[in-house]
Structure 1
Amino acid sequence: MANSQAAQAGTKSTGKHTHKKLTGVFLDAETFSADLLNSDTIDTSLLNNVNIELTCYDNTLPEEVVGRIANADIVLTNKVVLDSEALQHAKALKYVGVMATGTNNVDTHYCQSHNIYVQNVEGYGTDSVAQHTLMLLLNLATAFPQYHNDVEQGKWATSPHFCLTEHPIVELAGKHAVIVGHGELGKRVEALFIAMGMKVSIAARPGGFLTEERIANKRDPRPSLESLLPGADVVSLHCPLTDDNYHLFNEARLSLMKPTSFLINTARGGLVDEDALVAALKRGQIGGAAVDVISQEPPGPNHPLLMGAIPNLIVTPHTAWMANESRQRLFDIAMNHLIDFVETQI
């Protein structure tokens, strides 16, 4: 289904020139909000300040991408892939707005070489993702899914004792947490972990080099991930997916972790070798894992993390970012970016 909204009627005049309204498409608006232009939860009034005619598609299949972007000046996408094969058909394209932080679904090299501006949205979901991370950790530490299931199955009602004790519970105070990725989100999670009484270490980024804001060409002084893993009780991932860290948690690194340790991934599915993770959980090589992201979204019917009978695994369907406040912040930031860009075209 597609919905259209004229962000401003007619054309815009500066006194010297009359400018034709730009056309835009949002390829997967339903990932953001059902019936976005008439949403009860998202205030879309900022669209009235953008001189574009925007068509919102609930979703876009790979074979539909070319036809929908062919005549667009502006394309908004959350997760729809815009590769060079599709982008070469978009002769009018000037701007790609990624309604998320990661830009791995867009061929940014092609865009750069064809003067197509790519803009993502950063920092919109810090608190939402941080609270989801803490929720996942608390569920692992308290064995909440297992005990909740036991109660639903009547095990408490038939217990000879006042409580159930089958599943171990971990007290997080005093435990050692390792954070991989220390941007805004990593820092927010660090603060929450410290508030829980945990000791926190920040791992050096893969490759060992500092970011631009640090001293150029100096080695990263933070301890390596490999040196931290044997002493880690919790490992939480908050880094982007890059060529350097694809399958960062593979069989070798998982083997360095303690049999009581927890792995949490709210970043990108490709950071974890999922087959290796399943094997580690089944062998009791690590104590548990909780993920909000997987390598294929939506997953296929035989995805290794969804095959059942995997001990102490929690999977949530990429919902860490989805608080209403977070989505509103994302929309507002994205629209302000778009407004700024459109004004440069006048």
Structure 2
Amino acid sequence: MPNSPAPMKVVFLDRATISPQTVLKALSFPHTFEVFERTPAESVAARIADADIVIANKVRLTRPDIESAKRLKMIAIAATGTDNVDLQSCAERGVVVSNIRNYATHTVPEHTFALIFALRRSLVAYRDAVRDGRWLQANQFCFFDFPIRDLSGSTLGIIGDGALGRAVADIGRALGLRVLFSAYKGRDDMGPLYTPFQEVLQASDIITLHCPLTPATRDLIGETEFLQMERKPLLINTARGGLVNEHALVDALKSGMISGAGFDVVTQEPMPSDHPFQAILSHPGFILTPHVAWASDEAIQGLADQLIDNIAAFCNGTPANVVSTK
């Protein structure tokens, strides 16, 4: 009787980044499955030393970690972004890296508009005022301490034209917004479907970011860009921390260069006690959520299903959602 193949060892380094109610489908091939809720950087190499397949969401997998894992064949990223993995080292070793795609096309746009609605109608400011007794003090059926603006007829500038940016545009048009897709910063040759970056800054009542964080997009919006925002727009970032210079954002909000900001991401997560945003957490025009735009129950379950499907496809010899180093 021929020998059965040795079971593959699968290691999940940060299961706690996926909600506890999310179900991971069973893997159909012989395997062992070792799960860690969290993995500090100094423990990565030891935990993947004899792994064939590594699952990670935000844990960094550096060149030394990858080179020390002699059996490593695949890294399955439980997210879309792969900036936590040394892709060049994987390419040199022949390690396949797969990521998750198009799972958040409802949850992120919906969260984006939740922030827009809340800021445009000052919902948090009014909620806090009622809690603090202002309604009783007003001595009438309503009060007008904070601005309330309709969305219909306003201009929505979208930076990023992938699946999420397009989904945001669809919602915006349905609400009566004029939608502008921004050309890449410094480019004015992208054709009539795109509006020059500077013009988007000048013409938009709301600007929302849906682009990846790369060397070209880091600090995409800083002091210079805030000065160009003639209509004092809302600025929404449900994409990546680092796209907006955070010190400049604080200054812009405090000085009135923008009318409000809704962020779901910061450069360092969790946000440390000395982060610039600590100074504006109580500002009525600022909302910060803890990187949960992606995290509807439906979206996370879809992510988990796709994660296991990616691993199954690799083991069947037909890798899916493979990330290129190019």
Matches within 5 A, 1:1-346: 18-34=4-20, 41-44=21-24, 46-206=25-185, 208=187, 219-221=189-191, 222-258=194-230, 260-308=232-280, 309-310=282-283, 312-344=285-317
CA contact (8 A) 2:186 2:197 kept: no
Helix, strand or coil: the match of 2:164?
helix
Helix, strand or coil: the match of 1:59?
coil
CA contact (8 A) 2:207 2:236 kept: yes
Show CA shifts across 1:200-244 (max 9, x none).
0101134649xxxxxxxxx42222211221111000111111111
* Separation in structure 1 between the aligned mates of residue 114 and residue 70 of structure 2, nearest angstrom: 45
Structure 2 gap segments, 5+ residues each: 319-326
> What is the total number of aligned residue pairs between the two structures?
315
Q: 1 or 2 for the larger relative contact order (CA 8 Å, sep ≥6)?
A: 2
**C-alpha spacing 1:91/1:134, structure 2 compared with 1 (3 Å):** same
Question: Per-residue deviation at 1:95?
Answer: 0.5
CA contact (8 A) 1:231 1:257 kept: yes
* Separation in structure 1 between the aligned mates of residue 190 and residue 2 of structure 2, nearest angstrom: 54
Question: Per-residue deviation at 1:16?
Answer: 6.0
Show CA shifts across 1:9-64 (max 9, x none).
xxxxxx86621111011111011023xxxxxx3232x2242432111111111111
Structure 1 gap segments, 5+ residues each: 1-14, 35-40, 210-218
* Separation in structure 2 between the aligned mates of residue 344 and residue 206 of structure 1, nearest angstrom: 40
CA contact (8 A) 1:173 1:196 kept: yes
Question: Per-residue deviation at 1:310?
Answer: 4.2
Show CA shifts across 1:232-270 (max 9, x none).
100011111111111101111111113531000000011
Letter in 2 for 1:185: L
* Separation in structure 2 between the aligned mates of residue 33 and residue 85 of structure 1, nearest angstrom: 30
Relative to the length of structure 2, the TM-score reads: 0.93
Helix, strand or coil: the match of 1:302?
coil
Letter in 2 for 1:293: V
Identity %: 36
**C-alpha spacing 1:259/1:228, structure 2 compared with 1 (3 Å):** closer
Letter in 1 for 2:258: I
Relative to the length of structure 1, the TM-score reads: 0.87
CA contact (8 A) 2:8 2:52 kept: yes
